Structures are given as C-alpha cells and as structure tokens.
Structure 1
C-alpha cells in the first residue's frame, strides 16, 4: 500500500469483496501494511469526541454510569438486582484494570486475551488498595465511598489512557 493510497483503493485493486477486506485486515494484523487516518485529530478534545479513537473510553464511562445508577435504584426496585450484580462485577473486577492497561500500554501492544487477563488481574490488585486507603480516611469502607473512589479512579485512568492515545497520534502523525 503506497503512502497516499486509501484503504478503499487498496481493497478495490484486489477485487472488491469480503475476501479482499479480510485479506487486507490480515495484512494489517501481521504488520505488512500500515493504515493511517487521512484526517487525524488535531487536539485532545477532538480525540475525546471522535468515537473511532474514544469508543472504549465512552464504553467505560457508560458502564460506570449504569452501575452507579443501578446501585442507587436497585434498593427500591429488587427486579434490577441481577443487573446490579452484573454491572457491579464489571465495575469492580474489570474496569479499573482495563483503564490502567489503557494508560500503560500503547495500541496493539497486547493481544485481546492478554488485555483481558491483565485487566482482571490488575483490578484484583487495585481494588483492595483503594479499600486500604479508604480504611484510613474518615469515610471508611462503605458502599458510597467505595463506589465514588472507584469511579473517580477509573475515570482518571481512562482519561490518562485517552491522553496517551492522543500523544501517540501526535508522535506518529505530526512528528514523522
């Protein structure tokens, strides 16, 4: 794939169809071709707004919001308790570690299985540390402080990961 050729042109040269799209994806996954955004974001705010760069961030924030809403509402509506357990498990056992992974590792550095395993493992390490810190505050280890602190930590780590993505874009696009 040449420097100025679009993905559409590249696939069209190979006889358009599902097989050529899959072949282009495999070449990209192997590192044989490099895909570049023809209109990369110019600011951090643009990275936040464009879903092709920040869909994972908005998914994390949405799961956090749904979890907090379910915790607040499920005490009055017991039918929502299973949903509370599901989202609460994601909130505690996956999201903190996933946000940390996004903040620490660059794109495509880990396979999805490695990312999943590290996310769960790091969450299992981070959440007790949050509880330990909360134990020595006046708030103690209760539902509201734990939810609040985990939500703030996860959002902060997610924002850090998003900023790291922006820095990667600046490094690759504007300095090369």
Structure 2
C-alpha cells in the first residue's frame, strides 16, 4: 500500500484509510494496520489535531493524564479511608503500584515522550528504579518540613508529584507530536 500521496498534505487518518481501501480493494482494518506500521517506522507522521496543549489535554491525547490522575486519587482515597478487610487488600495493591511504579513511570514518560525511544521492558525497569529513587527523596524533603513523615503528607506529596510530572509528560508528548507532524499548513 502506498500512502506517499499523503506525505505532503493534510488528510485525516479516516480519509486516508478509506480512500486507500477503495483504491486497492483491501479491507479497511488491514489498510489501517499498514498505515500504523508506516507511522511507527517513521515513513509517515500523524498530527494530533490539537492546536494547543489544553486542547490536547482535554482530547484523546490527554487520556493518559486522566488515567494517572484517577489512579493517584484512588490510591490516595484508599490510603485514608480503607481500613476494613475487603478494601484493605485493594489499598495494599494500589498503594504498592502508586508508590513503587507510578512516580517513576510519569518521570520516564516526561523524559522520553516519543513511544519508540525505549522498549516496554526498559520503560518498566526505569519506572521501578526511578520510583525507588523519587519516593525516598520526597520523604527526605518532608523530613525537613513541619509536616514530617506521616501518612497524610507522604500520600499528598506523592500524589502532587505524580500529577505534576504527568502534566509535564503530557505537555512533552504534545510538543513531540507537533514537532513530528508532517502536515503544518492549516
């Protein structure tokens, strides 16, 4: 399949898939798969469609941020309010994920916003390692504040750090998509 006719002009993904499927007689999902492979290999670039970072955050590109924010909020609420056995186990699992993975993961996403720059295994290892480095630093900073190292300040600080880093990572993803776009003349 040849998508070279779309390399220099603006076209939606749907438009490109439908016209190529009509032209070649191949099923749409196969054409879409081929288009995705060409985008991943760097032969084609796809623009997000968002004109500014706020539109990107509120659109499909920001879904990642909202998922991180929801997980942080859920872990924080469970840390404060889950004291009985059914929710206590969920608190343990989500709390471990919140402390041992999420802060490092959003930092990795902020440092490497392009999807192909690291393999999934490298992202996982860096996420766990950076979380193990960030969480003690949060505790060290809290030790020198009037709040001290107690449950509430630690949970709120980790949630704030995670959400701040995920906002920055979302902004970096937006900038990476804008800079990588072929179609610039709207």
Answer whether contact 2:78 2:87 (CA < 8 A) is retained. Answer: yes
Question: What residue ranges of structure 1 are gaps of 5+ in the alignment?
Answer: none
Residue of structure 2 equivalent to 1:152: 160
**2:36 aligned partner:** 25
Once the 2 structures are TM-superposed, how far is the Cα of residue 86 of structure 1 from its aligned partner? Answer: 1.0
C-alpha separation between the residues in 1 aligned to 2:68 and 2:41?
A: 28
Which of 79, 82, 91 aligns to 2:98? It is 91
Q: 2: distance between equivalents of 1:116 and 1:99?
A: 11
**CA distance in 2 between partners of 1:90 and 1:68 (Å):** 12
Q: Which residue of 2 aligns with 1:166?
A: 174
Task: Give the corresponding residue for 2:57.
Answer: 48
Using CA pairs under 8 Å that are at least 6 residues apart, name the structure with larger relative contact order, 1 or 2.
Answer: 2
Where structure 2 has 5 or more consecutive residues not aligned to the other structure, the ranges are: none
1:113-132 matches, cutoff 5 A: 113-132=121-140
Instruction: Tell me if the contact between 1:134 and 1:145 (Cα under 8 Å) persists in the aligned partners.
Output: yes
Deviation at 1:21, TM superposition (A): 4.2
Partner of 2:27: 16
Compared CA separation, residues 69 and 8, structure 1 to 2 (3 A): farther
Could you state the TM-score of these two structures normalised by the residue count of structure 2? 0.81
Distance in 2 between residues matched to 1:139 and 1:79, nearest whole Å? 30
| TM-score, normalisation: structure 1 | 0.85
Contact 1:40 1:169 in 2 (8 A): no
Taking a change above 3 Å as real, the CA distance of residues 18 and 60 of structure 1, as seen in their structure-2 partners, is: same
State how many pairs are aligned. Answer: 172
CA contact (8 A) 1:92 1:127 kept: yes
Structure-2 change in CA distance of 1:22 and 1:167 (3 Å): closer
Q: Is the 8 A contact 1:7 1:35 kept in 2?
A: no
